[in-house]
Chains A and B, each alone.
Chain A
Amino acid sequence: MQISFTLNGRPTTVDVEPATLVAELLREQLNLTGTHIGCDTSQCGACVVHLNGLPVKSCTLLAPALDGAALLTIEGLQGAPGSNEMHPMQESFREHHGLQCGFCTPGMLMTAVALAAEKPNLTEADVRHGLEGNICRCTGYQNIVVSVMAGAAAMNAAKGE
C-alpha cells in the first residue's frame, strides 16, 4: 500500500507492506538508522519517535498508521532552524555526559524533548517517571536525569528568547 506522511518536515510517500513496522521502514527502507531497535518488544524505548508530536515506540507501530501523519525522528531534531546546531537537549546530553555507549540515546532524547515540551517546570521526579519507558544499561540514569533537567531548562530559555 502507498502511504504519505511528513517525515522530519518533508512530505514523503512510500510503498510499504502493511506488516511493516515503522522502525523497520525508517532503518531499512528510508536509511534513517538513528532510530534504534533495542528490545523490539516496546519496553526499552530506543526506538521512540514523535507521531503527530507525541512520543511513541516505532517498533510497535505499523507503517499504515503514518498515513497523513507527521513523523519526527532523531534525525529531525535540530537547534535553531538552518543553523546546523544541535538541539538544546542533545547539547545537554553531551555537556552532562548523559550517555555512555549511546545505544539508548536517540530514544532518550525523543522522550526527553516531548517531556520538556509538555511540562515547562520539570521536577526530578517528573523526569524519572517520564523516562520510565526508556531503558539504559550503562549510566544508572543519574547523568541522564541531570541532562534532561538542564536540557529542558535550555529549551525553555530558547523559547523565551
Chain B
Amino acid sequence: MKPFAYHQPNQIPDAAKLLVSIEDSKLVAGGMTLIPTLKQRLASPVALVDLSKLGNLKGITDDGATITIGAMKPHAVVAASKLVQAKIPGLAALASMIGDPAVRNRGTIGGSVANNDPAADYPAGVLGLGATIVTSTREIVADKFFLGLFETALEPGEIITAIRFPVPIKAGYAKFKAPASRYALVGVFVAQFADGVRVAVTGAGSGVFRVPPMEAALWQNFDPSAIAAIKIDTDGLTSDIHAEADYRAHLVTVMAKRAVDAALS
C-alpha cells in the first residue's frame, strides 16, 4: 500500500467536506473491497475518510411499509436482525450469504451499495426490492442508482447514509457462488409486491439488472414453473475464468427459480 492520510470525522458534513476538498481522497466503511484494492495498488488515494465515527449511520428502523438500514450496518448485524428477519427474510438471508463470517463482521451495506461490484449481493437486493438510497444530499431510487461496472449515480462528496427498503409480500434470494471468493457467479433476488414483481440479477453482467419477462411471468403466477422456460440472452453477459456467458445465462434461470422457491418457503 502507498501511504495515505487518515481522517475520522464525527459529522457527515465534515466527511463530505473532506471528500470534496482533498483531491483523490476516498471513503472507507468496512474496507472489505477498498483495502484489497489498496493492497493491489489498483487505487492509491492520498487520504482516506473513515465513516466509522459517524454515529447516526448504524440504526435499523421499522417505518411500517418500509424498513431503513443505516449505511454502516455490517452484514452480520443485518443477517441477525430480528426486524429484518421478520419483515424481509429474503434480505436477511442475502446478508447471511455474503463472504464469510469474518467479512460479514466488517463489510457494510452502504459500502457494498456504493461500490457496486458487478458480483456483489446487496445490489441485487436493493434493485430487486426497489429500495431507495438515502444520501447526505438527496434520495435516489434503485432503478436510477446502479449505472454499470462499479458506477453509481453518487456525485463527488455525496455519502450514502441509509437504504430504505419497501416491505414486500414475499422475497427470496439465491446465488451460485464462486467457491474461493464467495462472490456471486450469479445471484437473483425476487420480490413480490401488491402491484408487481421485481427480479434483479447480480454477477451475470457488468452490473445488476432486472429481467422484465420473468417479472411479467411471476406477476401472473408466482411459482418457479412460471419462469422455467424463460431464457436469458447472452448478449452483455460476462465470460471469464469462472464461467462462460452461456453458462451464466443458464444459471440466471436456475437461480431465479430457486429464489422464488426461497420466497415461497
Contacts and interface: CB of A to CB of B under 8 A. Distances in A.
A33 B20 CA distance: 40
B83 interface: no
Contact of A62 (B31, B102, B182): B31
Contacts of A56: 102, 105-106
Counting chain B residues whose Cβ lies within 8 A of the other chain, the interface size class is 20 to 34
Given A42-B32, A43-B180, 18 more contacts: A19-B3, A19-B4, A21-B35, A40-B39, A41-B39, A43-B181, A45-B102, A51-B105, A57-B102, A57-B106, A61-B106, A62-B48, A65-B31, A111-B101, A132-B101, A132-B182, A133-B99, A133-B182
B52 interface: yes
A41 B48 CA distance: 20
B6 A42 contact: no
A64 interface: yes
Interface of B: 1-6, 8, 28, 31-32, 35-36, 38-39, 48, 50, 52, 76, 99-103, 105-106, 180-182
A161 B129 CA distance: 48
Given A60-B32, A62-B35, A133-B100, A55 B105 contact: yes
Nearest to A40: B39
B100 A60 contact: no
A133 B3 contact: no
A57 B30 CA distance: 11
B102 A111 contact: yes
A19 B101 contact: no
A19 B38 contact: yes
Interface string A15-53: 001110100000000000000000011110100100100
A114 B102 CA distance: 10
Contact of B48 (A18, A54, A61): A18
A80 interface: no
Interface string A90-131: 000000000000000000000100110000000000000010
